[in-house]
Amino acid sequence: MTDKASPTAERQRWMAILARTTCTALQQKLADAPPLPPHRRLRGPETGLVMLQGRAAAVGNAFNLAELTVTRCAVALDNGLVGHAYHAGRDVARAELAAVLDAVLQDDAARPAWLSQVIEPLAEQQEATAARQGRKAAATKVQFMTMATTR
């Protein structure tokens, strides 16, 4: 993460990482971090459905593609910071932990420690998983041009 990233882009990054992580991975990283501050729930955690829309060839008319189960949560810390979390699935504990972390990460003084102890290790895990899946998919790639020219 560069120092020139806007606060919005930085927050989008950590929220995306939190949205993609599992509750188990999040709890493992939090076990080595300082305790989370007390919070109160503003909303949820609640589970519901959202409608996913698609477009034919990415430019056609929108159509309803599928429904996705989503869990959301909003919390407030004692210092007034508010955190939000949304993720696919029904894991309410994960949504609440992610919302608390979102609020904690908005505190300029606490952010560096939480980024280094929780967010960056989770990002590294996610990047390693994506690379592993990419290598696995690349191994199954068929070279049609090669097959056509090897008579």
Annotated domain spans of the chain: 7-148
Q: What is the mean pLDDT of residues 63-83?
A: 95
Interval 24-41 mean pLDDT: 93
Band of the pLDDT at 56, cuts 50, 70, 90?
Answer: confident
Percent of the chain with pLDDT over 70: 93
49/30 Cα distance (integer angstroms): 29
Separation in Å, CA 131 to CA 14, 29, 126: 19, 21, 9
Query: Concatenated DSSP letters for 10-55?
Result: HHHHHHHHHHHS-HHHHHHHHHTSPPPPPEEEEEEEEEEEEEEEEE
Asked if pLDDT for residue 151 goes beyond 90, the answer is: no
pLDDT-based confidence at residue 150 (cuts at 50, 70, 90): low
97 C-beta neighbours (distance < 10 Å), count: 25
Q: What is the mean pLDDT of residues 29-49?
A: 93
Q: Are strands 39-55 and 62-77 parallel, antiparallel or unpaired?
A: antiparallel
Radius of gyration of the chain from its Cα atoms, rounded to whole angstroms: 20
3 state SS of 7? helix
Model confidence at 148, in pLDDT bands (50, 70, 90)? low
Inform me whether the pLDDT recorded for 130 exceeds 70.
Answer: yes
Question: Reduced to 3 states, what is the DSSP secondary structure of residue 90?
Answer: coil
Q: Per-residue pLDDT averaged across 1-14, rounded?
A: 80
- 15-19, 80-84, 132-136: the lowest-pLDDT one: 132-136
